[in-house]
Amino acid sequence: MKDFVKNPLPQSIPQSLIDKLEKVETATVGHFMHSVFVDRDISATDASKRVAGTAVTLRLAANDSTLLHDVISTLRPTDILLIDRSGDNRHACWGGVVTNAAAICGFKAGVVDGPVTDVNEIRQNDFPMWSRGRSSITTKLYAQSGAFNVPVSIGGVTVNPGDAVLADESGVIVLAPAIAEEVADRALDMQAAELTLIERLKAGEPLGAITGASAMVTERL
């Protein structure tokens, strides 16, 4: 049995779809989908960031980040690296040196199902990052095992290489490429409708009257 698996990078999703997804709020998708959301404890280091891109996946052993160091500089500008930590929530596989390598390489963002360290350095490099908080205990280069571009589990969601990923202040969602465009279009339509609703609120209409909630309550009094 091989200790390491390294598969090729997946096909990138089209730039036009990435551009469209980056106009979508994950919370809008939450109005009509449920299973595509990773655990809400995986949150943004910088809540001002919203990114979309192609899922590139990595599974690491609990305390070993050898394969991360090996592949970090090979990613493309359209890629988001999602790291399955094999259930470990103690060791930070991502810190200042890895952040600098990622920023210099220029790929889109990172999502770690575990903690990170050197948060100030992540922010100073303006690198979009999502994680389960912080840890001062780091992984080491033990050359134990790892797998690159295989199906992984991130926050309870199965992620396949080549999936579409959208991450923002509210969370991270993973979409199969076959449905990503449809989801984006539906969300953008809802966001446009929300702007109209807000204008009606500003004009003096009560929210309950606009949404129908007040009529529903009245029927049941």
pLDDT of residue 64: 96
pLDDT per position as a tens digit, 202-212: 999 999 999 99
Q: How many helical (H) and strand (E) elements, i.e. helices and strands, does the chain have?
A: 8, 11
What residues contact residue 179 under an 8 Å CB cut-off, 6+ apart?
A: none
> What is the total residue count of the chain?
221
What are the phi and psi torsion angles at 112 (to 5°)?
-115, 125
CATH superfamily of 4-177: Ribonuclease E inhibitor RraA/RraA-like (3.50.30.40)
User: How far is CA 47 from its chain centroid?
Assistant: 12
pTM exceeds 0.85: yes
Distance, in Å, from the CA atom of 161 to the CA atom of 7, rounded to the nearest integer, reads 10
Report residue 98 as tokens.
Answer: 């890895």
Distance, CA of 62 to CA of 146 (rounded, Å): 10
Q: Are 103 and 126 in contact (CB under 8 A)?
A: yes
* Contact status, residue 184 vs residue 50, Cβ threshold 8 Å: no
Domain range list for the chain: 4-177
Instruction: Count CB atoms within 10 A of the CB of residue 87.
Output: 9
pLDDT, tens digit, for every residue of 71-124?
999 999 999 999 999 999 999 999 999 999 999 999 999 999 999 999 999 999
How would you write the pLDDT of the chain (221 residues) with one tens digit per residue?
A: 479 999 999 999 999 999 999 999 999 999 999 999 999 999 999 999 999 999 999 999 989 999 999 999 999 999 999 999 999 999 999 999 999 999 999 999 999 999 999 999 999 999 999 999 999 999 999 999 999 999 999 999 999 999 999 999 999 999 999 999 999 999 999 999 999 999 999 999 999 999 999 999 999 99
CA distances from 93 to 71, 123, 195 (A): 13, 17, 41
